[in-house]
Structure formats: structure tokens, C-alpha cells
Amino acid sequence: MSRALLVTALVVVLAACAAPGSAPAAPAAVPVPTAGPAAPPGTFVVPAGATIVIDPGHDGGNGRAAAAIARPVPDGRGGTKPCNTTGASTADGYPEHAFTWAVSQRLADLLRARGYRVVLTRPDDAGVGPCVDERGAAGARAGAAAVLSVHADGAPAAGHGFHVLYSAPPLNPAQRGPARALADAAVTAMRGAGFTPATYIGRDGLDPRADIAGLNLATVPTVLVECANLRNPADAALARSPEGQQRFAAALAASIG
Ligand SMILES: [Zn+2]
């Protein structure tokens, strides 16, 4: 296109934009809370200064508190679930609770460095619980914009990779759209960090679930990320290494924009 034509075309476009009252009414702008001009594409947008709850799965004391963690609590869909479980472990005994605690500490550091207020659902890796219904309520209690629940799976050894759980069918407005958006953001971030969607469960890294009390009871956008399969040797090596833990934490942090 010649310069003269280009200028003419621009003038026409500008004139069209400026024409008063002649254009058909534009549709009303619909607020999209999960997208903003400054956020990287595919992230779940949380404003700086807002609160994010990190929920490190299980707890280091659960193994010696069988009765306490077996106590039935509401599952959010009319039934009950055990208060908590001991979680998975690698073939040589590295426990899921230690993994989730390590990744959650690193994730908290990364998010705090970006100006977020971070609340964890447990203060250390030596206690019992909290129960899954308390974890499900933690986001609302903290006034959180998002909740990231950190886990690792204990599936048959041949399978590997991550999957992101969200409540489905949804039970409230936060679950109806925002939780799915957060799940999509987590999948995008995990894939972007080089992690493989699970080869043995879910679809393309997403795992809609009705049986997770902590997701059913959540009234703010909440996902549960099974970062890896601890029974798979390659995933286990990654999960127990400080470098791997930092990669998981960085990927989860990158899901928040
Ligand atoms: Zn778990």
C-alpha cells in the first residue's frame, strides 16, 4: 500500500470512529475479572495487595493421629469425608506432606515478593489436619481472591504428570466460572514451565471433580493441583529435589497474573 493510500485509509478509520451518533450502539462492556491488559495471557488476574490462600495438602502429624483424621466432616455435597488423610509417598518413603509444605513455602515467597498477602492453611509440617472442610472454608475466611491447594498423587507408577482439580458440577458462583478459569490458568502455567499433563487421569491436565470436599466447600476460586505422581520414579525424583520444588512453585506462581 502506498503512503498516500495508507494515510487515506487511516483517515477513513478515524472518521468512522469519530462519527457522532451514527454507529449502532456498542454492546455493554462485560467485566472480565480474569483478564486485564497488564497481565500475561492465560493467567488468573489477582490485583497486587490482594490475599491468596495456599493450602499445603495433608500434614506431618497425620500419620500418628489416625482417629483424629478419620473423623467424618461435611463433604459439601450432602455426604461426609474423613477429616484428612496421610497422603501419598514415593516408593522410598518421601511423604506428600513434606512435598506440599516445601512447594508451598517457596510459592508463598514468590507471591509475597510480588506484593500479595499470603495465608497458609497450616503453620508448619508437624501438626494434624486441618480437616478438609476447614481447608475449603479458608479462602473465604481470609478474604482471598484465589486458593491454590498443593498436592501430589499416589497413582500407579506407569503414569506421570500433573493434573488440576476443580469442583464440577459447580455449587456456587465462584465455582461456576472463576474456579474453572483458575484451573485453566494453572494448566497453562504448568505446561509453560515444561510439566506434562497427567498421562493417567483427567484430560489435558484438567480434572473436574465432585468428590473433593475442599473444592466443594470453597466460595472463592479454588483449585487443587496434583503436581506429580509420587509413585512414578521420574516424577518422584523431581518432586523431592529442591530444584524440582522450585520449578513447581514458580509454575504455580505464574498462574496468577
Ligand atoms: Zn494429597
Cell of 2: 502506498
CA of 59 to the centre of ligand 1 (A): 10
pLDDT at 196: 98
Q: What is the mean pLDDT of residues 30-51?
A: 75
CA of 196 to the centre of ligand 1 (A): 18
- Give the contacts of 206 (CB within 8 A, at least 6 positions apart): 163, 164, 166, 183, 184, 187
Cell numbers 473433593 label which residue? 212
Pick from 32-46, 147-161, 242-256: least confident:
32-46
* pLDDT one-digit tens code per residue, 5-31: 433 443 333 333 333 334 444 444 444
Residue 227 has pLDDT above 90, yes or no: yes
CA of 177 to the centre of ligand 1 (A): 24
Q: What is the mean pLDDT of residues 185-211?
A: 98
Of 133, 206, 201, 209, residue with least CA distance to 168:
209
Q: Which domains does the chain have, with CATH numbers?
A: 50-254 (3.40.630.40)
* pLDDT one-digit tens code per residue, 237-250: 999 999 999 999 99
Q: Are 38 and 102 in contact (CB under 8 A)?
A: no
Q: How confident is the model at residue 41 (pLDDT cuts 50, 70, 90)?
A: confident
pLDDT at 5: 41
Q: How many residues does the chain have?
A: 257
pLDDT at 225: 99
pLDDT at 40: 85
pTM of the entire predicted model: 0.85
pLDDT at 34: 47
- Between CA 152 and CA 236 the distance in angstroms is 9
CA of 113 to the centre of ligand 1 (A): 27
What's the whole-number average pLDDT of the chain?
A: 89
CA of 121 to the centre of ligand 1 (A): 14
The distance of Cα 252 from the centroid of its chain, to the nearest Å, equals: 7
* pLDDT one-digit tens code per residue, 81-127: 999 999 999 999 999 999 999 999 999 999 999 999 999 999 999 99
In angstroms, the Cα distances linking 157 to 195, 230, 233 are: 17, 8, 7
Active site residues: 226
Of 126, 152, 149, residue with least CA distance to 238:
152
Q: How confident is the model at residue 37 (pLDDT cuts 50, 70, 90)?
A: low
CA of 227 to the centre of ligand 1 (A): 10
Pick from 8-17, 56-65, 90-99, 145-154: least confident:
8-17
Of 175, 161, 255, residue with least CA distance to 208:
175
Which three-class secondary structure state does DSSP give residue 53?
A: strand
- Between CA 200 and CA 158 the distance in angstroms is 8
For CA atoms 177, 182, 183, 187, give the dihedral sign.
Answer: positive
